[in-house]
Chains A and B, each alone.
Chain A
Amino acid sequence: MVTLNYSIEGLLPMKGLPPDWPGGYWWHWLFFTVVLIAFVLVMVLGAIYIERRGMGRMQSRLGPNRTGPFGLLQAVADAVKVLLKENIVPAKADKIVHWLAPIIAFAPVMMIFAVVPFQDGALLADLNIGILYIVAVSSIATVGVFMAGWGSSNKYSLLGAMRNVAAVVSYEIPLVLSVIGVVLVAGSLSLNDIVLAQDIPFILFQPLGFLLFFAAGCAEINRAPFDLMEADSELVAGFHTEYSGMKFAMFYLVEYAEAIAISAIIATLFLGGWRGPLLPPWLWLIVKIVIVFFVMVWTRATLPRVRIDQLMALAWKFLFPLALINLFITAVQVLVWPDGLPWALIFLNIAVMLVLVILWSKLFRLGWGRLEV
């Protein structure tokens, strides 16, 4: 994947950092691999803390506050607890599949971060098909989930995994369609170039695309309110019912790493990535990731969980047509006014978003055939 980096180097002379920063092919590879793994693990710990404390306060609780100062070490304590637990494998489980599933679920999430720029040119591999690569790689996590459901030899695990696959496949479509809007405006698939193109954050050019991407992204990673396949207050766990110990920890890690990955993609595509005044670029990226993740926690604490039919209806009746319309409008804008006034386009796009959302809410009703209260 790194070799691609060099083939496009000649086409993009304007780079902040040389593509093999901090010097040398292998040194670059080693440096970014270590940094990314450390980054993901630390961010996951931070995300668990933000989620538990933030959601606690939103529910008028305090959240974990006993372990370490302000409960900061709660995630560490949980990790240690889970690692010390016995690793139980069901007697009739498909041992190899059961064992491989958490790894196959985790690897693609790590791979997403390979193309997220922390600074101009500071990324593991500046693929010219970056966002396509993300879409392709992130779907592999679903295979891991299905392997977990299948390998557990438990019908409820299998049902949870199948629902998960159905949801993820459905939500992939609006997700990708809303990404194409951004790609059209930026004129490139490379995340580094998309960030460089954002003199004004694309959330203003693509407000509808942002909403669609956010909703579809939340559903893609099974976060509330779309977490019905692993609804912890209703079911045991969905696909990872039969997992314990280290392997369960891997799935837990995947869940939050995916949330961080989606936050990073949203921050990069819509919020201007590492760009920002005063602070160093990598800190801006982290700040934006945390903000997006906080909004995810916020929606989780606010919205009730949807049913499976509502989940599918939202994907196919609401997000999918709106994503198509958004793509069409963006394409027309890019074709007709390639150098149009940015602020005029921004107001037009926000107005279009409001009209479309209200219009579609009228066409699209939850619970057909039910009496309105």
Chain B
Amino acid sequence: MKFERFGTGIIKGLMVTLVHLVRHPTVNQYPEQRLNMSRRIRGNELIWSRERCTGCGTCAKACPQGAIELVTSTVFKDNKYNVETYRVDTGYCIQCGLCVEACPFDAVFMGYSYERAKYRRNDLVQTNDELLESPARPVSGYFHPEIAKGLPDQTLLVEKIVEKRK
């Protein structure tokens, strides 16, 4: 005889919701409370290193969106071309990370930041020095385990909530 069919199932369900009512809810109040992102996040920025870049154009070839535009001088010196323009239309970027994986000289990185929405379309097109790493534009550990090691561990919401409920 299955008692679930005789009303006990309903009572069990009611008890479950009652327990949920009194315990701490599984939520994160986003703008005030923030969780650490994954160390390998592909945030919505692209970061470029002028020193390491040789102007080979592998990233531009790898980009499925054609969002990277690269102009170099024809002079080949010190095993590199002098990059005149490195322009990324981040509006086209789909954060696939293929340029980072393709770069043979580790000159391109995904950004660690999120919330990098812009108000104007032309703000999305970033050129040369706007693409460099800076404290405001930290580098993600995506495809670069040595960078990931230096970043804080990702906080999981579940762990925080379990900690609070104890």
Contacts and interface: CB of A to CB of B under 8 A. Distances in A.
Interface in B81-131: none
Given A361-B5, A365-B5, A61 B14 contact: no
B16 interface: yes
Interface in B8-28: 10, 13-14, 16-18, 20-23, 25-27
Contact of B20 (A60, A299, A361, A365): A60
| Interface residue tally on A, bucketed by range | 10 to 19
Interface string B141-163: 00000000000000000000000
A321 B20 CA distance: 35
B27 A361 contact: no
Nearest to B11: A302
Given A302-B10, A302-B14, A357-B6, A62 B25 contact: yes
Contact of B27 (A62, A303, A362): A62
Given A357-B6, A361-B6, A365-B5, A302 B17 contact: yes
A358 interface: yes
Contacts of A365: 5
A138 B84 CA distance: 79
Interface string A331-359: 00000000000000000000000000110
Contacts of A60: 20, 23, 25-27
A299 B21 CA distance: 13
Nearest to B18: A298
B23 to A, nearest CB: 8
Nearest to A59: B20
Interface stretch (A4-12, A19-27, A36-44, A50-58): A50-58
Interface string A274-305: 00000000000000000000000011011100
Nearest to A360: B6
9 contacts: A54-B21, A56-B25, A57-B20, A58-B21, A62-B29, A302-B17, A357-B6, A362-B5, A365-B5
Interface of B: 5-7, 10, 13-14, 16-18, 20-23, 25-27, 29
Interface of A: 54, 56-62, 298-299, 301-303, 357-358, 361-362, 365
